[in-house]
Structure 1
Amino acid sequence: MGDEFEVTVTGLGELDVTLSRAASRALPETEAVVTRTAELVTQGWRARWAGIGHAPALPAAVGFDLYHLPGSVRARIGPDKNARQGALGNIFEYGTVNNPPIPGGAPSLDEQAPAFASALDALAARLVEGDA
């Protein structure tokens, strides 16, 4: 046979503890980042739709809900169709044959995307470094 190598690795116990600790804190910490971003997207969306004379209640219909699935958290952001004028959300966001769109959601999401990605990167670094 060929040459044999012997390798000794130390510190795996500490690595295991660090990764276990990071995993246990990841979901609650991620939920905080997702919640804050959803709040900011909602605020931006409402601001973009503020002042529409024939739909004054539409901005107030925009909100968000958090959804928890095993190992993940998600936010659904947008107009509540059951709220006053909320059913008009698709018409305003995407337009119709007779009405041009007045986008509120897409630009608000685009505006927050870089900060969201940065916050998740910083969170991952803190979790692995044990600073979270």
Structure 2
Amino acid sequence: MSGRNPFDMGDVRRLRAHLAQGVPRAQRDVRAVVARGALNIKTEWRQNARASAPKHAPSYPRSISFDVHTFGPDQILAIIGPDKSGPQGALGNLLEYGSAKNPPHNDGGRALVNETPRFEAQMALVLERGLTWW
């Protein structure tokens, strides 16, 4: 065992202190990234719907909204889409996915695809910031 350095508890204590501060900060940052991503998807979905919604559904784009829910410290969920209780919100499934007589618009799907790389990049930054401690 000669030649080995003794174990330094100072690094362990610094890591513990970093995690005690970093985890709550990362939880706040993740919630902010999810909320921003949901807002971006909602905004683009509305823009897409304005451009593609049929003339008989002028209120449909305004029915698109989002909610962010937190379940304990580790689970965050964003629900984005038409509010079925709002004006023309119940048309959401028909307009988004189509029917036997109507083609799908895929307005929300396109918005989600466009937001995914931005969302992933922001989540990577949160993770990187949380793991850097010295």
TM-score by length of 2: 0.88
User: How many matched pairs?
Assistant: 128
Relative distance call for 1:106 and 1:7 in structure 2 (3 A) is farther
Cα shift at 1:20: 1.9
Cα shift at 1:73: 1.4
Does structure 1 residue 111 correspond to structure 2 residue 109? no
Does structure 1 residue 62 correspond to structure 2 residue 64? yes
1:16-54 per-residue CA deviation (whole Å, 9 max, x = no partner) reads 111221112122111110111100000110011004312
What is the correspondence of 1:20-99 to structure 2 with a 5 Å cutoff? 20-51=20-51, 52=53, 53-70=55-72, 71-99=74-102
Percent identity between the two aligned chains: 31
Distance 1:61 1:4 in 2: 72
Residue 17 of structure 1 is matched in structure 2 by 17
**Paired amino acid for 2:75:** S
Distance 2:27 2:36 in 1: 14
**Paired amino acid for 1:66:** V
Distance 2:6 2:15 in 1: 15
Gaps of 5+ in 1: none
